Amino acid sequence: MFKWVLIGVGSLVALVAIFFGVVWFIFVRGGDDVSALTEEGSAEVLELTDAGSSYIVVYRYDYDGKTFYGKKSIYSTSMSRGDSYGICVNPSDPSQHTEMNPGCPPEGSSGLFEGQKEKPSL
């Protein structure tokens, strides 16, 4: 009998934890605010490493006469040095950018990235 009480209490605790987890995920977690990323740009792949289903990429982009660098994982079936891809840039802080997805501001963005003044290493 005591075993069934423990199973019942454990199940109830698990259901409550799942409920609060879903509520947190939907309402609290939120994502990066990408509404300021309104300018279209292009990032050039400088270096890359094949990581199986993705590539670790070091890239460069120019905005308003300034050069910014970044490093991220890009899911792609094929990518080469010198390739470029679309990005969205914040015109008031051009170090803030993300992949264009499909337009600017991006829908379903993969996150907000900070460009760097110096090229990162792979």
* Residue 110 pLDDT greater than 80, yes or no: no
What's the CA gap between 54 and 39, in Å, rounded? 26
User: Cβ distance 48 to 98 under 8 Å?
Assistant: no
User: Cβ distance 37 to 88 under 8 Å?
Assistant: yes
Same domain for 91 and 48: yes
Q: What is the mean pLDDT of the chain?
A: 84
Residue 119 lies in a domain: no
Q: How many CB atoms lie within 10 A of CB 48?
A: 19
Residue 121 lies in a domain: no
Give pLDDT, residue 75: 85
Q: Provide the number of structural domains found in the chain.
A: 2
Please give the share of the chain, as a percent, with pLDDT higher than 90.
43
90 falls in which pLDDT band (50, 70, 90)? Answer: very high
pTM, two decimals, is: 0.70
What's the CA gap between 47 and 55, in Å, rounded? 10
Boundaries of domain holding 22: 1-30
Q: Which two structure tokens, joined as six digits, stand for 47?
A: 């270096």
Residue 81 neighbours by CB under 8 Å, 6+ apart: 45, 46, 47, 48
53 falls in which pLDDT band (50, 70, 90)? Answer: confident
Same domain for 65 and 22: no
DSSP, collapsed to helix, strand or coil, labels residue 31 as: coil
Task: Tell me what the mean pLDDT of segment 19-35 comes to.
Answer: 64
Same domain for 89 and 48: yes
Peptide bond before residue 102 is cis, with ω within 30 degrees of 0: yes
Q: Can you list the alpha helix ranges (DSSP code H) found in 24-92?
A: none
Residue 56 neighbours by CB under 8 Å, 6+ apart: 48, 49, 71, 72, 73, 122
